[in-house]
Amino acid sequence: MLKLGVNIDHVATLREARYRGRGFGEPDPVEAALICEAAGAHGITAHLREDRRHIQDRDVWKLREIVKTRLNLEMAIATEIIAIALRLKPDIVCIVPERRLEVTTEGGLDVVANEKAIADTRKKMNDAGIEVSLFITPDEKQIEAAARTGSQFIELHTGAFAEEFQVGRESKDEGREPDAVPSTLGSRPSTELERLISGAKQAHALGLKVNAGHGLNYANLSALHRVPHLVELNIGHSIISRAVGVGLEKAVREMLALMQGYRGTM
């Protein structure tokens, strides 16, 4: 069964837009996590950034108390954040690149260039009973390096796939032939979808478990069913956006429905 991890960062972003630095405010990402679990989500994801732009320390400690499924802490390799993770003991950490000027995580982790630091952090986490995932693009060398670090998971960055899907969708709507046709709009998989398929197969062969996330939404998710060996999808923005219109519980249930029927092998 393909699992859903709901990223609640955007709930905190909305709160911080008005209550920045106040120590309270609404909407509450912890309450959102409870709703997501009640609706059937298999896990909760939160990114504790160095600049604390959305999720705050108090959020992650409260999440650790109340999350009954699986708490996934996204984090950069930073001394302060590593120390917090080791005390917090989430079920899994996902190591991501972090740049101060980005709105959201824009690219995959460069494991090749930072292999030793990542491997050292992985060991600290595993020694504390915490699984480790690496957020990377579906690149052969990055996947090989991820396996060498001893990490249990990779999370394939699906942003390029999502962008390609949207471009193809807009081209079809305008009556033009797109340069790259998304898989659900044509008989053959798109270039980026092919990269995800190849990356997932490679990772699986190397003994890595495979998650995926970034830019996934209600329109493009069905195309991802072609990618084998997926364990979990981490989705945030699309679900929180949908919740504005239909409520968070229904938004989570609708996404779960789209994930049904995933076979996992090719």
- pLDDT at position 266 is 60
Structure token pair of residue 113:
């260039």
Position 80 in a domain: yes
Peptide bond preceding 90 in cis form (omega within 30 of 0): no
pLDDT at 130 over 60: yes
Beta pairing, strands 131-136 & 209-213: unpaired
- Chain centroid to CA 41: 14
208 has a pLDDT exceeding 80: yes
Active-site pick, 10, 16, 37, 74 = 74
> What's the CA gap between 176 and 222, in Å, rounded?
23
**What is the rounded average pLDDT for all residues in the chain?**
91
Judged against a pLDDT cut of 50, whether residue 182 lies above it is answered with no
Is 254 contained in some domain? yes
Task: Check if the beta carbon of residue 23 is closer than 8 Å to that of residue 58.
Answer: yes
For residue 190, which phi and psi values (nearest 5 degrees)? -75, 165
Residue 66 belongs to some domain of the structure:
yes
Confidence grade of residue 179 (pLDDT, cut at 50, 70, 90)? very low
Q: Is residue 170 part of a domain?
A: yes
Of the listed 10, 42, 47, 157, which one is catalytic?
Answer: 47
pTM higher than 0.85 for the full model? yes
Q: Is 225 a catalytic residue?
A: no
Domain span at 150: 3-259
pLDDT band at residue 100 using 50, 70 and 90 as cut-offs: low
**pLDDT tens, position by position, 134-164:** 999 999 999 999 999 999 999 999 999 999 9
Q: Write down the pLDDT at residue 33.
A: 98
Pairing state between β 131-136 and 92-95 = parallel
Which has more confidence, 185 or 65?
65
Q: What is the C-alpha separation between 83 and 99, in angstroms, rounded?
A: 20
| Whether pLDDT at 170 is above 70 | no
Q: Which residues, in sequence order, are CB contacts of 175 under 8 Å at separation 6+?
A: none
Answer with the residue of higher pLDDT: 161 or 170: 161
Q: What number is the average pLDDT over the span 238-262?
A: 97
Residue 67 confidence class, pLDDT cut points 50, 70, 90: very high
| Integer CA distances (angstroms), 243 to 4, 32, 41, 63, 260, in order | 16, 10, 14, 20, 20
pLDDT for the residue 105: 52
Cα 136 from Cα 255, distance rounded (Å): 23
Query: In CATH, what number is assigned to the domain containing residue 101?
Result: 3.20.20.70
Q: Directed axis angle between helix 79-88 and helix 57-66, to 10°?
A: 20
The residue-averaged pLDDT of 42-67 equals: 97
pLDDT, position 168: 63
Catalytic residue of the set 42, 54, 157, 214: 214
Report the percent of the chain where pLDDT is more than 90: 84
Q: Clarify whether 47 is annotated catalytic.
A: yes
Instruction: Assign 9 to helix, strand or coil.
Output: helix
Query: Domain count of the chain?
Result: 1
The least confident of 35-44, 153-162, 226-235, 256-265 is: 256-265
Q: What are phi and psi of 260, to 5 degrees?
A: -65, 145
Q: What is the pLDDT of residue 98?
A: 78
Residue 202 maps to a domain? yes
Determine the pLDDT at residue 264.
Answer: 83
pLDDT at 213: 98
Distance CA 98, CA 100 (A): 7
Residue 265: inside a domain: no
With respect to residue 264, please indicate whether it lies within any of the assigned structural domains.
Answer: no
Could you tell me if residue 229 is inside a domain? yes
pLDDT > 80? residue 181? no
Backbone angles phi, psi at 151, to 5 degrees: -65, 150
Q: Is 214 a catalytic residue?
A: yes
| pLDDT of 185 strictly over 50 | no
Distance CA 88, CA 4 (A): 22
